Amino acid sequence: MTKLITRGEAMNYIKDGCRMMVGGFGLVGCPLTLVETLLATSVTDLEIISNNLGEPGKGLGALVRQGRVRKGIGSYFTSNPDVAAAFNRGELDIELLPQGTLSEAIRAGGAGIPAFYTGVGAGTKIAEGKEERVFSDKRYILQEALRADVALIKARKADELGNLIYSKSARNFNPIMAAAANIVIAEVDEIVPAGGLCPENIVTPHLFVDFLVLKEGG
């Protein structure tokens, strides 16, 4: 059994209208080979959970520019003016969450927790429409967990089983997204035989990873 597939084969798992998580903090830790391959397909009407939606015309930003993103769920889209433009034209729906709430909602989604209370955002515009509850005289808002049909993540190195290690701050959202989607495709720089990664250092155990795709180019 091998989890290694081509980047073209990976596209069979991304359907029109699907909800997709994409790792990365800006372009750092974003699976750019997979995103570039997706750009060359006709898949559209995507709902994307990602901290940002790339940069103007780059990464997920290219999908936004082509009008193929229906909704973005993330914490910071200000750095991509295309997102604001599409939002203002009514072509893109946006759900904004504090970055810690976004990451915890993804973590919860992968850990079988349907929702949680957080104090972050209570009493602010972020809380509008959300259930509120008081614990020990402090206000908290209810946040539902996030899951997706497919997650595209980026790791530095995998073994043949799909165990993953990451590179520096390119880790960010990738390990939590690996747990929170029905199909998880990890783009990696290198694949080593099983045993090639020290068990103490593995960040994402292989049970979370369905497919591996090798990164192409620099």
Partner 1 sequence: MSSKEVIAKRAAAALVDGDIVNLGIGIPTLAADFIPDHIKVFLHSENGILGIGPTPLEGKVDKDLVNAGKLPVTVETGASYFDSASSFGMIRGGHIDVSILGVLEVDEKGRVANWSVPGKSVLGVGGAMDLLEGSKKVIVTTLHTAKNGASKIVKDLHYPITSERPADIIITELCVFDVDAEGLILTELFPGVSLTEVKAKTDAYFRIKENLIETESESKGAD
Strand, coil or helix: 93: strand
Q: Is 172 in the site for partner 1 (CB under 8 A)?
A: yes
Q: Is 118 in the site for partner 1 (CB under 8 A)?
A: yes
Per-residue tokens: 151: 């997650």
Q: Which is nearer to partner 1, 46 or 108 (CB)?
A: 108
Q: How far is the CB of 16 from partner 1 (least distance, A)?
A: 25
Strand, coil or helix: 10: helix
- Kindly tell me which residue out of 121, 159, 162, 163 binds partner 1, with binding defined by CB under 8 A: 121
- Kindly tell me which residue out of 124, 132, 133, 195 binds partner 1, with binding defined by CB under 8 A: 124
Per-residue tokens: 194: 């099983």
Per-residue contact string for residues 57-96; x = within reach of partner 1 by CB under 8 A: ------------------xxxxx---xx--xx-----x-x
DSSP for 101-142, please give it.
Answer: HHHHHHHHHHTT--EEEESTTTTSGGGTTS-EEEETTEEEEE
Q: Which is nearer to partner 1, 40 or 84 (CB)?
A: 84
Q: Is 122 in the site for partner 1 (CB under 8 A)?
A: yes
What are phi and psi for residue 102, nearest 5 degrees? Answer: -60, -50
Q: Which is nearer to partner 1, 13 or 178 (CB)?
A: 178
Q: Which is nearer to partner 1, 74 or 162 (CB)?
A: 74
Part in contact with partner 1 (CB under 8 A); list of ranges 14-22, 30-38, 58-66, 166-174: 166-174
Rounded CA separation 26/132 (Å): 31
Strand, coil or helix: 213: strand
Per-residue tokens: 100: 């810690």
